[in-house]
Amino acid sequence: MNPRKDLLDIQSLTDEEITFVLENAVPFKDLFRRSVKKVPTLKGRTMLTLFYEPSTRTRSSFEVAASRLSADVTHFDVESSSVVKGESVLDTVETLEAMRVDYIVVRHKQAGIPNLIAKNTAASVINAGDGWHAHPTQALLDGFTLREVFKDTRGARCLIVGDIQHSRVARSTSLLLRRLGMNMAYLAPGSLMPREVPQEVAQFGNWTDALEWKPDVVYLLRVQSERLEEPFFPSAAEYHKNYGLTDARVQILRERGIYLMHPGPVNRGVEITDKGMDYERSLINAQVENGIAVRMSVLYWLRPGA
Ligand code: CP
């Protein structure tokens, strides 16, 4: 497999590249069971995280992944940098370019910023989420998690529930799971359903119809309040009643053996309850653990200068 320079979205990946990343994540995950969880693969390389938006999971997951591959890790602290004095993204990148880092992992609220940075740096750029557009490593870790559960994902059915319109996770994960042969459906209020949904993705407006579609996996999304300029539903309580995973709906999932996923962070009491968080077929913690293995595999694959 030829290494490529950047990972910016799912669309541009070949089936071969997707398989390569997912298959190579398996031995990296095996490492986690050892007392020494580190290999020298990226010794001498430097990865820089450049997050213009908050993150708990993605940033720390990349940092753990890089350190397990023996790369040096640096965080560019946007809040305390000259960005707050008005420095442009490209001026920041020019400065980072002079530091000759090997990887830049970037998150930005504006779609397309990682692509712009990739064109202006010799470093490998990894998109860690840009606006509503893409979150490719989330999609790859979701695909990896479902391959662990189903072995053969072809024909398995995944229902994505919630704020699909504003979700880069829904876009990237839906694309990736379709590439793995899964059937996809969306459940959302009309105001949070994208205007253009691919023909092969089923659309539902209520849980009763969506559950009749017989999903194997329910994938909850957080309402992206920070991206809503106006209220898209009357109240959080109303949203919870109509679209959230209530305790009664957790019981239905349990009776039907349906798996549960969520990319995090969760809003308890809105899209999920405490009982939902404790559900025995939840894959949420597996998604977090697998995120490290998949990001190790991505860093290994991109290897700048390999
Ligand atoms: N899933 C995800 O992107 O989480 P963070 O926003 O915490 O990185």
Average pLDDT over residues 44-68: 96
Number of alpha carbons in the 13 Å side-chain half-sphere of residue 249: 23
Strands 103-108 and 183-187: unpaired
Local confidence band at 78 (pLDDT 50, 70, 90 cut-offs): confident
Helix (H, G, I), strand (E, B) or coil at 178: helix
State whether the beta carbon of 263 lies less than 6 angstroms from ligand 1. Answer: yes
State whether the beta carbon of 173 lies less than 6 angstroms from ligand 1. Answer: no
Read off φ and ψ for residue 268, nearest 5 degrees: -60, 140
In angstroms, the CA 134 to CA 148 distance is: 23
Tokens representing 205 are: 């407006």
Local confidence band at 203 (pLDDT 50, 70, 90 cut-offs): very high
Indicate if the pLDDT at residue 305 is higher than 90: no
Indicate if the pLDDT at residue 85 is higher than 80: no
Would you state the pLDDT for residue 283? 98
Local confidence band at 109 (pLDDT 50, 70, 90 cut-offs): very high
Local confidence band at 66 (pLDDT 50, 70, 90 cut-offs): very high
State whether the beta carbon of 264 lies less than 6 angstroms from ligand 1. Answer: yes
Nearest in space to 64 (alpha carbons), one of 83, 84, 37: 37
- Distance from Cα 141 to the centre of ligand 1, integer Å: 12
Indicate if the pLDDT at residue 88 is higher than 90: no
Would you state the pLDDT for residue 282? 98
pLDDT, tens digit, for every residue of 150-188?
Answer: 999 999 999 999 999 999 999 999 999 999 999 999 999
Nearest in space to 269 (alpha carbons), one of 233, 243, 230: 243
Would you state the pLDDT for residue 83? 76
Indicate if the pLDDT at residue 235 is higher than 90: no
State whether the beta carbon of 129 lies less than 6 angstroms from ligand 1. Answer: yes
pLDDT, tens digit, for every residue of 4-26?
Answer: 899 999 999 999 999 999 999 99
- Distance from Cα 281 to the centre of ligand 1, integer Å: 21
Provide the CA 82 distance to its chain's centre, in angstroms: 28
Average pLDDT over residues 145-150: 98
In angstroms, the CA 275 to CA 112 distance is: 38
Write down all domains in the chain, each with its CATH number in brackets. Answer: 15-134+289-301 (3.40.50.1370), 136-283 (3.40.50.1370)
Indicate if the pLDDT at residue 224 is higher than 80: no
* Residue count of the chain: 306
Average pLDDT over residues 138-148: 98
In angstroms, the CA 79 to CA 110 distance is: 17
- Distance from Cα 265 to the centre of ligand 1, integer Å: 6
Would you state the pLDDT for residue 79? 81
Tokens representing 67 are: 């350190």
* Mean pLDDT value across the chain: 93
Angle at 23 between CA 103 and CA 128, to 5 degrees: 35
What pTM value is reported for the model?
A: 0.95
Name the residue of 51, 55, 223 to mutate for ligand 1: max ligand atoms within 8 A of Cβ.
55
Indicate if the pLDDT at residue 59 is higher than 80: yes
Name the closest-CA residue to atom 1, ligand 1: 263
State whether the beta carbon of 303 lies less than 6 angstroms from ligand 1. Answer: no
Indicate if the pLDDT at residue 124 is higher than 90: yes
In percent, how much of the chain has pLDDT > 90? 83
pLDDT, tens digit, for every residue of 250-287?
Answer: 999 999 999 999 999 999 999 999 999 999 999 999 99
User: Which ligand 1 atom is at minimum distance from the Cα of 56?
Assistant: 7
pLDDT, tens digit, for every residue of 294-304?
Answer: 999 999 999 77
Local confidence band at 84 (pLDDT 50, 70, 90 cut-offs): confident
- DSSP for 190-222, written as a single string: GGGS-S---TTSEEESSHHHHHHT--SEEEE--
User: What stretches of the chain adopt beta strand conformation (E)?
Assistant: 46-51, 72-76, 103-108, 124-130, 157-161, 183-187, 202-204, 217-220, 259-261
